[in-house]
Chain A
Amino acid sequence: MTSAISVDRLEVIFDRFRALKGVSLDVQPGESFGLVGESGSGKSTLLRAIVGLAPVASGGIAVNGKTLGPRRDKAFYREVQMVFQDPYGSLHPRQTVDRLLQEPLAIHGFADSEKRIERALDEVGLGKGFRFRYAHQLSGGQRQRVAIARALILEPSILLLDEPTSALDASVQAEVLNLLEEVRRRRKLTFLMVSHDLAIITHMCERLMVMQNGGTVENLAASDLVERRVTKDYTRNLLRASDGFVRV
């Protein structure tokens, strides 16, 4: 079976800073894969390199068996879409939700945009009433739903999620995570999800990779974390940190 995403010894260099130092991973179709690490570990850079937003110095990326060149074509974005961390920064402030969702449809030449927009809004749990609102009229959770709708409207098979809930309140986070799980189940999507929160990754993903300083620390299954079967000190520290503060 060809992998949905296959990354081979990927190096990303900004000026002279090596942000990714030869990272490899393999995500199977329909799988949900997590990337965990602290800020500066390169987890977001890996996602950005896949969609063509980071300068790849060497190494290879293949999506659905097809090796990617330096430029991404339209067909690529039909398959792969991304949801960004900050719902306040990723929606155009002067476009209505309708206009925002129209954009990808126009780029890819879809004729039945009317129906698709209605369906996309419905799918993320926003009614028709939200269609002609602006981003500033929406709450953080509603904005992130619009961002998810925009990613889903092209019916991609792979969704890259960069900390999709870290800017949201805990109760809203639960709603958005539930929504993501539901669309994944319904559409048999492949997820590659970045988070600094181990609990979210274990909840959402079957397998994960722990990253630090642009490199891989270890590859784990979610069940390994639940049973605390980790081999590296760094991961152990992350696990301990997610248990909360303990007075010494």
Chain B
Amino acid sequence: MSALLDVEDLRVTFPTRVGLVEAVRGVSFSLGRERLGIVGESGSGKSQTGRAIMGLTPPQARISAKTLSFDGIDLLAASPRERRALRGNRIAMILQDPKYSLDPVMSIGRQIVETLRTHEKVSKAEARERALAMLEAVQIRDPKRVFDLHPHEVSGGMGQRAMIAMMLIAGPEMMIADEPTSALDVTVQLEVLGILDRLVSQRGMGLIFISHDLRLVSSFCDRVLVMYAGKVVEQLKASELSQAQHPYTRGLLNCMPRIDADRHPLPVLDRKPEWAA
């Protein structure tokens, strides 16, 4: 199986007043048509990794990599125009909070149609039909009504479904989901994950699922990368999470309260400087 995405020695550096800060320090992995989880705490560089692949790194930051290629296209050499053609069309991204990532002054339907018409030549009527079908595919019960609503008129779960619909409408081959369910209630979380799961497997997409929640990621993905201080400290199969070797991974797993385990006090992470080395 040829890889959809190849990342080798990816580095993202931000200039700050106190000098250069490396947010991502040499991350390498490849992605086929599978689900890959990237887990880490805030500041571990997981989101910056996703954004660098998507081409959404702020302009002042520097990106370097030995390889950063999507389906044979060298992303670092690609022009902004070529990157734009990929974004939303072949590579899509779902962001954390629909409240902030949907356009507040545009109806949900128009936003979905806009994505589609940016990448494909379709008539207005056909675009509307496809947007409605897509809203139905993300299990929105009354797509005709939701089509005309503005983002503030829908719940978080509904907004996130609308975003998934918008991201999937152009039929991307790869999707990056950055904390797609963290802003949602637990019960809604599972529904949204269920929809994402079904669509990703039906369409045979590659998925990068970025999250701080190690257990959630391992229940959803095939493979998990654990990041700490800008580096991948461990890479393992989701099914073998319980055999994690790195103390950071084990610490992350242990420090969460569990319903069926009575542990007082909770074990805490004892961060070792050599993990970041």
Contact = CB atoms under 8 A, between A and B. Distances in A.
B220 interface: yes
B197 A199 contact: no
Contacts of B187: 38, 237-238, 241
Contact of B257 (A39, A200, A237, A244): A200
Given A178-B265, A226-B259, A226-B260, A171 B41 contact: yes
Interface string A173-197: 1110110011000000000000011
Contact of A171 (B156, B190, B255): B255
Contacts of A199: 256-259
Interface string B128-157: 000000000000000000000000000010
Contact of A242 (B186, B188, B251, B264): B186
Contacts of A237: 187
A225 interface: yes
Interface residues on A, range: 20 to 34
Interface of A is mostly: helix
A181 B197 CA distance: 38
A171 B216 contact: no
Nearest to B40: A169
B77 interface: no
A64 interface: no
B193 interface: yes
A177 B266 contact: yes
A169 B212 contact: yes
A246 B187 CA distance: 13
Interface in B250-274: 251-252, 255-260, 262-269
B194 interface: yes
A245 B264 CA distance: 27
A106 interface: no
Contact of B186 (A174, A225, A241, A247): A241
B219 interface: yes
A247 B197 contact: yes
B257 A202 contact: yes
B219 A239 contact: no
Contacts of B188: 38
Interface residues on B, range: 35 or more
B259 A225 contact: yes
A72 interface: no
A39 B185 contact: yes
A229 B264 CA distance: 23
A171 B189 CA distance: 22
Interface centre among B41, B189, B190 (most CB of A within 10 A): B190
Contacts of A226: 259-260, 262
Interface centre among B212, B251, B255, B259 (most CB of A within 10 A): B259
A97 to B, nearest CB: 22
Contact of B255 (A170, A204, A238, A240): A170
Contact of A177 (B41, B189, B214, B257): B257
A198 B185 CA distance: 12
Given A170-B41, A245-B219, A247-B197, A239 B269 contact: no
B194 A248 contact: yes
Nearest to A241: B186
Contacts of B194: 245, 248
B193 A245 contact: yes
Contact of B265 (A171, A182, A238, A242): A182
A248 B219 CA distance: 12
Nearest to B220: A245
Given A245-B190, A245-B197, A203 B41 contact: no
Contacts of A140: 42
A238 B185 CA distance: 10
Interface in A34-58: 38-39
Interface in A190-248: 196-200, 202-204, 225-226, 237-242, 244-248
A182 B264 CA distance: 10
Report, nearest first, the 6 A-B pairs whose CB atoms are least far apart. A203-B257, A174-B255, A244-B219, A38-B185, A171-B269, A178-B265
Interface of A: 38-39, 140, 169-171, 173-175, 177-178, 181-182, 196-200, 202-204, 225-226, 237-242, 244-248
11 contacts: A178-B268, A182-B265, A196-B186, A198-B186, A203-B257, A203-B266, A225-B259, A238-B186, A241-B189, A244-B216, A245-B194
